[in-house]
Amino acid sequence: MYEQMVTARYYEERLQEEYLEGKQPAFDISAGPIPGELHLAAGHEASGIGVCAHLRDEDTVTAPHRPHHIAIAKGVDLNRMTAEIFGRETGLCRGKGGHMHLFDPDVNFACSGIIAQGCPPAVGAALASKKRNDDTVAVAFLGDGAISQGGFLESLNLAALQGLPVVFVVEDNDWAISMPKERVSSIENGAERAVGFGMPGVRVDYDDVLAVYDAAEAAVERARAGNGPTLLELQVHRRMGHFMGDAESYRTNEDIDWADKQDPIPKLAADMRDAGVSDERIDELAASARERVEAAIEWAKEQPLPDPETAYEDVFVTEEPRRPAVPTGGDD
Amino acid sequence: MSRAQTPPMGDRERTMSRAMVEAIAWEMERNEEVFVMGEDVADYGGIFDSTQGLLEQFGHDRIMDVPISETAFIGAAVGAAQQGMRPIAELMFTDFFGVCMDQIYNQMAKNTYMSGGAFNVPMVLMTAVGGTYNDAAQHSQTLYGTFAHLPGMKVVVPSTAYDAKGLMHSAIRDDDPVVYMFHKRLMGIGWMPAPAGPKTGVPEEDYTIPFGEADVKRTGEDATVVTLGLHVHRALEAAETLAGDGIDTEVVDLRTLVPLDTETVLESVRKTGRLVVVDEDYRSFGVTGEIVARVAEEALGDLEAVQRVAVPDVPIPYSRPLEDEVIPGVEDIEAAVRATQ
């Protein structure tokens, strides 16, 4: 898990650097090698990685607009994901999806850029699992801003009613763009909403991957055993703006410093040392993570941009199966 | 058609977002019943600056940040409007309207009709539209045609600061629901540079631009380009190049889709004989088809050539060369005008 945590963190740091290239000195969202908006998840690693540690390739994950750490944890091909973010032909979605819309059928991973709208499809995947009587589970990730959204609340009800193998994971980073959590919900513990739907609700209220791992283990096992859904609310921290370019004028410096202090990565390293893991081993894991990220970014940047004519393809299913469309990165 | 008198632009220049905010503030100062509700409209000032500075002036009671509960807050605006208040609800991106569409097209748009006029819904629903910044298929649509197609709501699409202010005053004072769609690329926000055109002179006083009056942004003799929003500016740029080759292009800015000023379009086509309709929305079943149909119904005999320039019925892709391919550019408009000659 430590290697995945640092992979996700380096990945975000490197994406940030690449994203800002060409956008300086005056920030212009449509300039530079990475197009569009970029929502970074630094500070969210414990959630994606602690939860996905219990998942197999056949299990479904739907991620929101801040998906990179979850994708890495689920085993999405890092090279092709990076190529997608750079808008390249060999990207996961042939340059059509971009960073908020990563799709990898090999590990059953999908995204939506619309708040909470990944929840109903996760319920659908769980429904398929129940109908086919296999033991796969589905996990829907969403942010704390999404807990007031109809799509989320309706999904909880349907999943509970049908006893579906799905886990709803709320990543509580305290902020929905400029709205602090206390201004979007009249209850502090979002997991309490589960009670009203007749399912367990569990909150991990400190940012720690080992605690997340334990809570998720129980939820995933419950789902896999056919005992129905669980709502998990996990405290994480937003170390950056809502999107790159967000000056966060609505947020105090104290809050930003606080988020910084809750960093789950040094916390895990300290736990590992306590458990007898050597500093050399920890450094080795970090170095290999860094190498993997650099290789993915280098590979992605060498990939060709798509032929404009391909813009007209994929509106409907094509007769020739296209996947894998192009040489894959061979990362995982 | 008689034209309303609007004040001269003057030389007090404003961005489109500032002009919109001026109108909202003016209406709020004079009418306690006007308030704003939306996601990140207060502390953030609107992601696209559409409510910038209003919190400081009016406080959280009248500039209300709401949870991400679109069905609830847009429906609440409908309810408040039916009680005679004048809510302005913002939903950041037009792409997000799907999650609360029932409140928009079954409640907001139909309650006046279904109640036999017993209730009316004097609210403004404003939202950002458009691509050109590579944000992919869930954040780049315009969907002009969707809202214009469903009866019961007026649809406003400003292209300049002057128009944006006058149309906003009209929208807030209107007794019907108005969908006010502003293009992100025209707002004058720092991180998304606007073309030169939308920043115009804006009078200090309040003024209204009546709905259903298109504006001829450039007069010409050889071809008529009918368009709206960002593509007014792309059409004007194309017209400059075409003028160099001796093709004199008239550019008609529709400004409102509902009501639609068919008369101005017809007048122009009767003069030029050649019609090009440019839209950033999808080609099929949309604005381009509607305009061509109306001209065909009323002025078929004057029509020598027709071209449509629109998004070719694909979702907006992410990667830059793909997005450039499908969103109409200046060259596409130029080529279409040439094709009519």
pLDDT tens-digit profile of A22-49?
Answer: 887 788 898 899 989 999 999 999 999 9
A146 chain-B contacts, CB cut-off 8 A: 68
Contacts of A148 in chain B (CB under 8 A): 67-69, 72
Cβ contacts (< 8 Å) between A310 and chain B: which residues? Answer: 322
| Catalytic (active site) residue A237 | no
Is residue B47 within 8 angstroms of chain A, CB to CB?
yes
Q: Which residue of A has its CA nearest to B318?
A: A96
Residue count of chain A, please give it: 332
Please report which confidence band the pLDDT of residue A319 belongs to, taking 50, 70 and 90 as the band edges.
Answer: low
What pLDDT score does B4 carry?
64
pLDDT, tens digit only, all 341 positions of chain B:
445 689 999 999 999 999 999 999 999 999 999 999 999 999 999 999 999 999 999 999 999 999 999 999 999 999 999 999 999 999 999 999 999 999 999 999 999 999 999 999 999 999 999 999 999 999 999 999 999 999 999 999 999 999 999 999 999 999 999 999 999 999 999 899 999 899 999 999 999 999 999 999 999 999 999 999 999 999 999 999 999 999 999 999 999 999 999 999 999 999 999 999 999 999 999 999 999 999 999 999 999 999 999 999 999 999 999 999 999 999 999 999 999 99
The pTM (predicted TM-score) of the whole model is: 0.92
**Burial call A122-142: b when 16+ CB within 10 Å, e when fewer:** bbbbbbebbeeeeebbbbbbb
Q: Is B68 an interface residue toward A (CB < 8 Å)?
A: yes
Residue of B nearest to A37 (CA): B135
Q: Determine the distance in angstroms separating the CA of B83 from the nearest CA of chain A, rounded to an integer.
A: 25
What is d(CA A221, CA A227) in angstroms, rounded to the nearest whole number?
Answer: 9
Whether B44 and A250 lie within 8 Å, measured CB to CB: yes
More confident residue, A327 or A178: A178
Nearest to A114 among B39, B96, B135 (CB): B96
C-beta atoms of B67 and A185 within 8 A: yes
B196-200 CB contacts, 8 Å cutoff, 24+ apart: B196/B233, B197/B159, B197/B160, B197/B232, B197/B233, B197/B236, B198/B15, B198/B16, B198/B159, B198/B160, B198/B161, B198/B164, B198/B233, B199/B13, B199/B14, B199/B15, B199/B16, B199/B161, B200/B9, B200/B13, B200/B14, B200/B160, B200/B161, B200/B162
With CB atoms and an 8 Å threshold, state whether A93 touches B318: yes
Suggest the residue from A96, A175, A301 to mutate for an interface test with chain B (most B CBs closer than 10 A).
Answer: A96
Q: Is A250 one of the annotated active-site residues of the chain?
A: yes
pLDDT digits (tens, 9 = 90+) for A109-164: 999 999 999 999 999 999 999 999 999 999 999 999 999 999 999 999 999 999 99
ipTM: 0.87
CA-nearest residue to A186 within chain B is: B67
B25-73 pLDDT, tens digit each: 999 999 999 999 999 999 999 999 999 999 999 999 999 999 999 999 9
**pLDDT of res. A322:** 58
Whether residue A330 is predicted with pLDDT greater than 70 in this model: the reply is no
Q: What is the DSSP string of A177-237?
A: TTEEGGGT-S-S-GGGGGGGGTS-EEEE-S--HHHHHHHHHHHHHHHHTT---EEEEEE--
Where do the domains of chain B lie, and which CATH numbers do they carry? Answer: 12-202 (3.40.50.970), 215-340 (3.40.50.920)
Binning pLDDT at 50, 70 and 90, where does residue A321 land?
A: low
Give the pLDDT confidence score for residue A320 in this predicted structure: 65
Residue B29 forms contact with A (CB below 8 Å): no
